[in-house]
A = this chain, B = another copy of it.
Amino acid sequence: MRRVPPDEQAWLATYDPSQFPPFAVTVDMVLLTVRDGAFSVLLVERASHPWLGALSLPGGFVQAHEDLETAAVRRLDRETGVRRDAAHVEQLGAFGAPDRDPRMRVVSVAYLVFAPDLEAPQPGEGTRSVGWVPVDQVDPAALAADHGLILAAGVERARAKLEYTPLAAAFVGEQFTVGELRRVYEAVWGHALDPRNFHRKVTGTPGFLVPVGRPAPVGPEGGRPAALFRRGGATSLRPSMLRPPPG
């Protein structure tokens, strides 16, 4: 990759890596979905020390030669069955308070994942069980390490991103109706939205939705069949969706 100059090669040969404080690096994932109308996060129950028995975000140690996002996606697939191309993955940030792990100095790089509602994920190694929990029913203080802090950051980031990106579509399937998309916004923001204004807004924003020929099957509640859409190519929404003020 980079050409190493000769004098630097000589210097590297005399270099002692142990002069720097050793850290371990982990990845933790805030995997979010909308499930039965509830904005929910995937939590696992730890089957080993430390925090044996506590709920935590899925994650684990980064291998020596592994890219950070690769490490996150590898665990995503193995522990939850979520494939990378079926979800949105972005880095949330680094969390590295000195006392966040009793074993040693650990910096965790957190990843935020938006996924459609999935089949019940399978527990992976080192975890006892796994399941979706509505985010407003999670007790942040009960989570392992600083995972309450990481979860709060992920939830707030998700709520903000729905405003100015088309990422709400990452929470629904390949094809979806305007009503399904609206229920994503309502679940994430915890606010009812006017179906008529919402319809006008999303169908009128260029690049957000692409019409699919066929109509959707009628839902269990009856009603007129809705048109089906796919995600458009837009990466940002201008002007953005407006989140109702809290209250």
Contacts and interface: CB of A to CB of B under 8 A. Distances in A.
Interface residues of A, number: 42
Interface stretch (A13-21, A79-87, A175-183): A13-21
Contacts of A93: 91, 93-94
Interface stretch (A22-30, A114-122, A166-174, A214-222): A22-30
Given A21-B61, A21-B63, A107 B11 contact: no
Contacts of A49: 7-8, 11-12, 15
A21 B62 contact: yes
24 contacts: A2-B99, A2-B102, A7-B49, A8-B102, A11-B49, A11-B50, A12-B102, A15-B49, A17-B24, A17-B103, A20-B24, A20-B104, A21-B24, A21-B25, A22-B23, A23-B24, A23-B62, A25-B107, A64-B98, A68-B107, A91-B94, A93-B94, A94-B109, A107-B109
Interface of A: 1-2, 4, 7-8, 11-12, 15, 17, 20-25, 49-50, 52, 61-68, 91, 93-94, 96-99, 102-105, 107, 109, 238, 240, 245
